[in-house]
């Protein structure tokens, strides 16, 4: 064979190989490894004999290795897109916005605490309630968080998905589907606990009525605040909470109405107003966008399947946050007229400790947004074969972010703890009893602060994993943590004292933060794959 014939033969073989590569890439644009290429070739009819005859390969696996090397080579020399660099001013403004967005989400909680400190009551609590009334309201509040916790996560996940693309009409449709589900869950659970209470007489009717009323109205409020969060109207909802407290003030202080009746009326008005505002904000956004766009919602079964893990996470997370309180209040080591009996000293310590999450939530919003932006840009700056270098860079960034999150949590814990310890020394606020005069309150405050600082790590990890479409990893971290919280808290309270339930929170927090950190590291180690999977 002369040189020309040899050149033509090699050229023809190379063309056939290029065509085969294109056929493989049509089946899967980003094969994971050689074995997947073998499977693809076998699926279109190739075997060892053809590989030998057509390309002179030893067998089909040898041919797949050649194809894999050529695909990697093609990926290596993909032309980069230029990433526009931001100025320091732009970066600073973006970081401040992210921080405030994370912080603002906790404003309603802060407003409620400030109201309790100054007025001695808020929209759903009062310092001088009887233990029976406090028990009923606490049960209704906890049930509301647990019942709609999953629904709020589903609304946020799917709502953001459509809003980011500018499809506010679909976001509205999707949101109100889940709001209806939230109300149906509320009604179903209400009927269920009514039947159980009729059968076993856990609580008298006066207590059960309070449980249901606060449960229903708080459900409506949590659903509304989630919608306002995805529409970036968090300050509006904070204003509604302040308005609600003002309504309670008018009815209770000025008109002399019973505090619980005043709160129920205020909750009713705020829940109705917030739902009307949700309609208004969606209508306003739909008018501004989607002109000429008439997209259809996907099948509801597909929607449910896609948000199922986030729904389950919401249920697990809020159950984790409150289960130690239920365990503590069900400890039969003192007067117990009912199966659950409110312990104000325990509740007060945890309520103040929960404020520790405010600053870390803002910090997490900043650092996760920065990490995800860097990850997006890295896809344009790194070669396909440089995944190890990419992992080292982003794991280094994650470690720095982890440190910032821990330091912000510790600083927040220190400030909150000092503030609460010294609050009673402020002349204006000195009452008959000190705010934390109880040893139990100080004990729970200290360990609650520790627990919530650790929880903040898991929250940061969860946001990263959610951004990369890995909710199953978050669930694998939080579900065993919930069981640890329940079993350790139950045993400690039954062996020792009711306040030891807080150790269940701490132990569960340690577990879920450790495991979620492990999963984030695992994802970053294979970041190229997970970025592709999330896209």
Tell me the pLDDT tens digit for each residue of 360-398: 777 777 776 766 666 655 555 554 545 566 667 777 778
3-state secondary structure of 121: strand
Number of helices (H), then strands (E), in the chain: 19, 0
Residues 437 and 421: their CA atoms lie apart, in Å, by 9
CA distances from 529 to 30, 176, 313, 463 (A): 9, 35, 24, 18
Is residue 287 located within the same domain as residue 420?
no
List, in order, residues 6 or more apart from 36 with CB less than 8 Å away: 28
Do residues 51 and 124 both lie within one domain?
Answer: no
Asked if the structure places residue 390 within a domain, the reply is yes
**Same-domain pairing of 387 and 464:** yes
90: number of CA atoms within 13 Å, CB side?
5
Q: Specify the pLDDT at position 292.
A: 46
Token pair listed for 466 = 């959610």
Q: Alpha-carbon distance 122 to 243, whole Å?
A: 11
57 and 135 in one domain?
A: no
Q: Would the CA dihedral through 47, 52, 54, 57 be positive or negative?
A: positive
Examine residue 404 and state whether it is found in any structural domain, yes or no.
yes
Looking at the fold, whether 350 and 499 belong to one and the same domain comes out as yes
According to the model, what pLDDT value does residue 225 have?
A: 82
User: What's the domain range around 499?
Assistant: 323-334+341-535
Q: What is the DSSP letter of 105?
A: T
**Claim to verify: residue 455 and residue 514 sit in the same structural domain:** yes
Instruction: Give the chain's domain count.
Output: 3
Same domain for 369 and 472: yes
Point out which residues pair with 121 in neighbouring strands: 126
Helix, strand, or coil here: 126?
Answer: strand
| pLDDT (0 to 100) of residue 324 | 94
For each successive 10 residues of the chain (535 residues), what is the average pLDDT?
A: 46 70 71 72 75 79 78 52 52 60 65 78 84 91 90 85 78 88 91 90 89 91 84 80 91 91 91 88 78 62 82 92 93 83 88 83 71 60 56 76 86 86 64 66 92 91 84 93 96 93 96 94 74 54
CB 103 within 8 A of CB 358: yes
Q: What is the CB neighbour count within 10 angstroms for residue 22?
A: 9
**Euclidean distance between CA atoms 461 and 514, whole angstroms:** 10
Q: What span, in angstroms and rounded, lies between the C-alpha atoms of 189 and 146? A: 11
Q: Which of 297, 315, 349 is the last residue of a domain?
A: 297
Measured CA to CA, the distance from residue 217 to residue 209 in angstroms comes to: 12
Residue 517: per-residue pLDDT? 93
CA 464 – CA 397 distance, rounded (Å): 13
Q: Quote the pLDDT of residue 78.
A: 43
H helix intervals, 424-526: 439-467, 471-495, 502-525
Do residues 139 and 62 both lie within one domain?
no
Residues 6+ away with beta carbon under 8 Å from 135? 207, 329, 338, 340, 341, 342
Q: How far, CA to CA in Å, does 124 sit from each of 127, 139, 189, 268, 430? A: 11, 12, 20, 12, 23
Domain annotation covers residue 96:
no
Residue 88 lies in a domain: no
The tokens for 354 are 């929960």
- Gyration radius of the chain's alpha carbons: 29
- Can you give the three-state secondary structure of 244-259, one letter per residue? HHHHHHHHHHHCCCCH
Q: Is residue 245 in a domain?
A: yes
Q: Which of 504, 505, 480 has the alpha carbon at shortest distance from 492?
A: 504
pTM of the entire predicted model: 0.77
Q: Do residues 491 and 417 both lie within one domain?
A: yes
Residues 181 and 267 grouped into a single domain: yes
Contact 313, 152 (CB under 8 A): no
Q: Which of 447, 456, 349, 464 is nearest to 408 (CA)?
A: 456
């Amino acid at each position: 064979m002369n040189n020309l014939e040899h050149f033509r033969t090699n050229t023809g073989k190379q063309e056939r190989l290029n065509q085969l590569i294109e056929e493989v890439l049509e089946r899967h644009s980003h094969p994971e490894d050689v074995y997947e290429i073998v499977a693809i070739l076998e699926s279109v009819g190739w075997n060892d004999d053809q590989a030998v005859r057509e390309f002179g390969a030893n067998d089909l696996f040898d041919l797949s290795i050649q194809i894999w090397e050529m695909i990697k080579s093609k990926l290596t020399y993909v032309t980069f897109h230029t990433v526009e660099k931001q100025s320091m001013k732009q970066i600073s403004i973006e970081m401040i916005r992210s921080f405030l967005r994370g912080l603002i989400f906790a404003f309603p909680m802060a407003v409620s605490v400030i109201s309790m400190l100054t007025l001695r009551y808020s929209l759903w609590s009062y310092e001088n309630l009887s233990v029976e009334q406090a028990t009923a309201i606490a049960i209704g509040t906890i049930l509301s968080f647990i019942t709609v916790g999953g629904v709020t996560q589903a609304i946020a996940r799917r709502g953001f998905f459509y809003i980011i693309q500018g499809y506010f009409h679909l976001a509205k449709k999707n949101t109100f589907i889940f709001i209806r589900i939230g109300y149906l869950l509320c009604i179903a659970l209400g009927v269920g606990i009514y039947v159980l209470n009729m059968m076993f007489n856990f609580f008298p009717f006066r207590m059960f009525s309070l449980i249901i009323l606060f449960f229903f109205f708080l459900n409506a409020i949590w659903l509304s605040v989630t919608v306002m969060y995805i529409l970036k109207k968090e300050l509006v909802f904070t204003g509604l909470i302040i308005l609600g407290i003002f309504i309670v003030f008018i009815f209770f202080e000025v008109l002399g109405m019973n505090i619980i009746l005043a709160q129920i009326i205020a909750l009713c008005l705020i829940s109705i107003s917030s739902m009307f505002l949700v309609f208004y904000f969606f209508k306003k956004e739909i008018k501004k966008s989607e002109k000429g766009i008439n997209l259809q919602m996907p099948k509801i079964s597909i929607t449910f399947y896609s948000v199922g893990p986030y729904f389950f996470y919401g249920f697990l997370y809020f159950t984790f946050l409150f289960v130690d309180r239920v365990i503590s209040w069900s400890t039969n080591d003192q007067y117990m007229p009912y199966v659950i009996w409110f312990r104000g000293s325990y509740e007060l310590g945890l309520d103040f400790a929960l404020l520790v999450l405010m600053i870390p939530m803002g910090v997490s919003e900043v650092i996760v947004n920065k990490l995800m932006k860097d990850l997006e840009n890295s896809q344009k700056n790194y070669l396909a074969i440089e995944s190890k270098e990419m992992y080292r860079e982003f794991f280094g960034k994650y470690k720095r972010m982890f440190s910032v999150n821990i330091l912000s949590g510790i600083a927040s814990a220190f400030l909150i703890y000092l503030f609460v310890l010294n609050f009673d020394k402020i002349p204006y606020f000195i009452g008959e009893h000190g705010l934390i005069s109880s040893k139990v309150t100080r004990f729970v405050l200290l360990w609650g602060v520790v627990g919530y600082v650790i929880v903040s790590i898991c929250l940061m990890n969860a946001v990263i994993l959610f951004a990369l479409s890995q909710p199953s990893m978050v669930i694998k971290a939080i579900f065993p943590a919930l069981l640890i919280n329940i079993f350790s808290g139950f045993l400690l309270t039954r062996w020792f004292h009711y306040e030891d339930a807080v150790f269940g929170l701490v132990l569960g927090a340690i577990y879920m933060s450790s495991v979620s950190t492990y999963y984030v590291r695992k994802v970053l180690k294979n970041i190229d794959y997970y970025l592709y999977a999330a896209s």
